[in-house]
Amino acid sequence: MKIKNKLTLIYTIIVAMILLALIVYVYALLKLNAHQFFYEKLGNRAMITAQVFLEKDEVSATIFKDFEKRYSQTLPGETIRVYDEHNQPAFIEEAKKGDFPTDLIERIRKEKKVEIDEGANQIVGIQYSDNQGEFVIIASAEDFSGEHSLAFTRKILIAGFISSLIIIFISGRFFSKQALNPISEIVNNANRITASNLHLRLDEGKGKDEIAELAITFNSMLERLEKAFETEKNFVHNASHQLRTPLASMIVELEVALNKTRTEAEYQSLLASVLTESEKLGHIITGLLELAQLNREENSMMTEVVRLDEMLWDIRDKVTREVPGSQLQISFANLPANSDLLVIRGNEQLLGIALFNLIENACKFSGNNEVIIHLLSSPKGSLVTIQDKGIGIPADELNKVNKSFYRAKNASAYGGSGIGLALAEKIIGQHKAEFSIESKLGVGTTIRILFPYEI
- For residue range 359-374, list pLDDT tens digits in order: 888 888 887 788 899 8
Question: What residues does each domain of the chain span?
Answer: 3-149, 210-295, 303-452
Per-residue pLDDT, 411: 63
**In the predicted structure, residue 73 carries a pLDDT above the cut 70:** no
Please compute the mean of the pLDDT values over residues 391-396 and round it to a whole number. 80
The CATH number given to 303-452 is 3.30.565.10
Across the chain, how many H-helices and E-strands are there? 9, 11
The DSSP secondary-structure symbol of 410 reads G
**In the predicted structure, residue 218 carries a pLDDT above the cut 80:** no
pLDDT category at 97 given cuts 50, 70, 90 is very low
Phi/psi at 321 (nearest 5 deg)? -70, -40
pLDDT category at 207 given cuts 50, 70, 90 is low
Q: Which residues, other chains included, contact 8 with Cβ-Cβ below 8 Å and sequence gap of 6+?
A: 169, 172, 173, 176
pLDDT category at 25 given cuts 50, 70, 90 is very high
**In the predicted structure, residue 398 carries a pLDDT above the cut 70:** yes
CA distances from 161 to 15, 42, 200, 247 (A): 11, 34, 49, 83
The CATH number given to 210-295 is 1.10.287.130
Query: Pairing between strand 343-346 and 370-377?
Result: unpaired
Alpha-carbon span 204 to 186, nearest angstrom: 9
pLDDT category at 412 given cuts 50, 70, 90 is low
Q: Which residue has the higher pLDDT, 435 or 219?
A: 435
pLDDT category at 98 given cuts 50, 70, 90 is very low
Alpha-carbon span 355 to 428, nearest angstrom: 9
Please compute the mean of the pLDDT values over residues 232-255 and round it to a whole number. 70
Per-residue pLDDT, 442: 79
pLDDT category at 104 given cuts 50, 70, 90 is confident
pLDDT category at 291 given cuts 50, 70, 90 is low
Cβ–Cβ under 8 Å, residues 59 and 120: no
pLDDT category at 29 given cuts 50, 70, 90 is very high
The DSSP secondary-structure symbol of 75 reads P
Q: Which residue has the higher pLDDT, 256 or 293?
A: 256
Q: Which residues, other chains included, contact 273 with Cβ-Cβ below 8 Å and sequence gap of 6+?
A: 249, 253
The CATH number given to 3-149 is 3.30.450
Q: Which residues, other chains included, contact 431 with Cβ-Cβ below 8 Å and sequence gap of 6+?
A: 344, 346, 347, 350, 351, 451, 455
Please compute the mean of the pLDDT values over residues 426-446 and round it to a whole number. 85
Q: What is the DSSP string of 414-436?
A: S---S-HHHHHHHHHHHTT-EEE
Among 62-76, 134-148, 324-338, 424-438, the range scoring the smallest mean pLDDT is 62-76
Among 75-79, 201-205, 257-261, 322-326, the range scoring the smallest mean pLDDT is 201-205
Residue 379, helix vs strand vs coil? coil
Amino acid 73 reads Q
pLDDT category at 64 given cuts 50, 70, 90 is very low
pLDDT category at 91 given cuts 50, 70, 90 is low
Average pLDDT, the chain: 77
